[in-house]
Each structure stands twice: as C-alpha cells, then as structure tokens.
Amino acid sequence: MIYGVPGGGGGAAISSLECVAVMGLGWRVSSEETPTGRLQPGLLCGASADACSSSPCSNSAPCVEQLGDYACLCPRAPVWYAGKNCDRLYDACLTAPCANCSGEPGTGRFSCRCPDGVAGLNCSAEAERCQSAACDGVGSACVDTGDGSSCQGNGTTCSELACQNGATCVDAPDLGLRCRCAAGFQGSRCEEEVDECGSQPCQNGAICQDGRDAYLCFCVPGFQGSHCDLDINECASRPCQHNATCRDEVDRYRCDCAAGFTGGNCEVEIDECEARPCQNGAACRDHVAAYTCECLAGFQGRDCQVNVDECASGPCLNGGRCRDGVNR
C-alpha cells in the first residue's frame, strides 16, 4: 500500500503514480505531475499481483506493485528522472509556481524570471526598493530592509551572495545579507535540498521516497496510514463464521473455530457420521459437534456396540437352558 505525505511548502514533481481511494485515508500523486507539485490528499495505494513482472521502470528505478498498476521510484541522483516509467529527464519548471521559468533538465534546480517590480521564488514578493547602483563605495550595496532600503558596506552584494533554488536575499539584523531559503532547501546559499526521509518517518518496514518539502511512505502489506503506522485489522469485516473467534495478524487473520466446524473461515460443518461410528447396522444421525446412532433391535449403547442379553431376565422355565441370540 502507498501513501503520500504533504510537507510545509513548495512541491516537487514526483514520478507518475496511480492510486485507489480507500476510506479517505492516506495520500496520492496524480497520474501526471501536479500543477503545483504538491502531493494530493485522499487516496490510498495498494499492491497488485504481477504489475512489475515486465520490468517497466527505466534507468534502474525500483518498481512498486499496486492494485492493478505499478509505481516507479525514479532516481534523483546523480540524474533526476521522471515520468510513469522514469524514462525522461525531470523538468523542475513543470511544477514551478511561475510562468517564465528556466530549469536545468535532470535536476531540481530552476529560477523564475520575474517581471519588474516583483521577486522571489514564485514572483509574488515585492522587489527590492533600490538598485545596487544607488550606493557609492567599493562593496557597498543597496538592500531592502523591509521598511525601506539602506546601503550596506560589508563587501558582499546580493548578486555575489548568489542565492539558489528560488531563495530571497534579505538583510538580517546584526548579520548582514543572508539567503532566505524556499521550503525544502537549506544551506548558506540554499543550495542543499532537505531530505525529508532523513528522520525516518515511515514505520513498519515502509519505503520512504523523498520529495521537495514532502515525502511518500510506501507501506508493506498489512499496514496503512500516512506513516504506515496503522496495522490493518483484517478481522474488521468479520470473516469468521459460526461464532468462531477471529485473530488479527499482520496482513492476515486466523479463525479459531467453534466445536463442530472447520475451514479457513469455519464455514464447513464437520460430519461426525463420516467416520461411521455406529455399529451393527445402526443408522447415524449427524448433529453440530455430535452424532446419534439409531440401533437395530437387539443392540444398545452409544454406538450400538452392545448385543442385548435377552437371557438376563431368566425367561426359560422348568430347568430350560437359555441361549442368547440377536433380539431373541
């Protein structure tokens, strides 16, 4: 079973996945990269019998089986691949939140060419209020301080700082120029992508796939939930019959049958007459966990195994000798 988990910021294109809705639990990735790159909620993925048998994934991507389909876990390094079968280079501009995007195929790096007056990862922030040419002096630069602008003489300009991956150059009080990273990136220049799988959020042997400011947990059979932390209760559907006790196990269940029943779900009543317990021509009547024998005349006992002694009552008179027969 497969789940997606959203992060707290911008998204990254995850290779094509198709999932099945199950009780509104878990998460999904659409059959193509989403417009925002974010993982969409509401769908839960499962496993199929042999969807990966044809080895559909390219570029050494692992194949994960699902209900009626498969998912390719596209590699991200040294080259990032995408697509249903990981057969094409990933284009970060497909999910970039700006119209004029320039990306480096096969990587997650992109930049937005913002119109005049706006800046930032998705060109939604107000541009700096000054130009570096407005300040005099070697190494002096004009920096947006939030409530105006000022000339900083620390020898570093925003262009020299070279913030990456859509980061914004800001003037931090008492620190000078710094790169404010977009969600999912870190480092002094925001050059490093955060590995959301580093904290090992997926439990019970699940596979974690890192995304941009997000991750996916691919659950092993028997578990579900955004972190694969929920053991599926296979007894919830009450599969055991005839008052049997259901024992929930990992990815399976076991029925403890009541007396007189057998089968995987205790659906079969045991025929106690099958072993032919009744003797001396008696008829056997099957019951639940029991049987009765209808004895022929002259026999008695649970299994009609005892020949009735008709001489026991001393029927012979005048010194006659009694010889017991069957029913006479």
Which residues have CB under 8 Å from 296's CB, separation 6+? 280, 281, 282, 304, 327
3-state secondary structure of 310: helix
28 in Cβ contact with 87 (< 8 Å): no
User: Can you give the pLDDT at residue 178?
Assistant: 85
Judge whether residue 45 has pLDDT over 70.
no
CA angle 126, 93, 207 (to 5 degrees): 115
Reported as half-sphere exposure (CB side, CA atoms, 13 A), residue 91 has a value of 11
User: Residues of the chain with pLDDT > 70: what percent?
Assistant: 72
Asked whether residue 251 is domain-assigned, the answer is yes
* Number of domains into which the chain is organized: 2
Asked whether residue 243 is domain-assigned, the answer is yes
User: Can you give the pLDDT at residue 207?
Assistant: 93
User: Can you give the pLDDT at residue 162?
Assistant: 83
Judge whether residue 43 has pLDDT over 80.
no
User: Can you give the pLDDT at residue 156?
Assistant: 64
Distance CA 119, CA 131 (A): 13
3-state secondary structure of 211: strand
Asked whether residue 197 is domain-assigned, the answer is no
Asked whether residue 129 is domain-assigned, the answer is no
Check whether residue 263 and residue 281 sit in a common domain.
no
- For the question of whether the overall pTM of this predicted structure is more than 0.85, the answer is no
Of the given ranges (101-110, 120-129, 296-305, 311-320), which has the lowest mean pLDDT? Answer: 120-129
**How sure is the predictor about 37, in pLDDT bands with cuts at 50, 70 and 90?**
very low
Distance CA 181, CA 82 (A): 25
User: Residues of the chain with pLDDT > 90: what percent?
Assistant: 37
Asked whether residue 246 is domain-assigned, the answer is yes
Asked whether residue 258 is domain-assigned, the answer is yes
Asked whether residue 45 is domain-assigned, the answer is no
Q: Which domain holds residue 247?
A: 234-269
Distance CA 34, CA 287 (A): 63
Each residue of 195-215: pLDDT tens digit?
Answer: 999 999 999 999 999 988 899
* Beta-sheet strands, E only, within 11-54: 27-28, 40-41
Asked whether residue 23 is domain-assigned, the answer is no
The tokens for 316 are 């012979």
Which CATH number is 305's domain given?
A: 2.10.25.10
Check whether residue 283 and residue 264 sit in a common domain.
no
Judge whether residue 122 has pLDDT over 80.
no
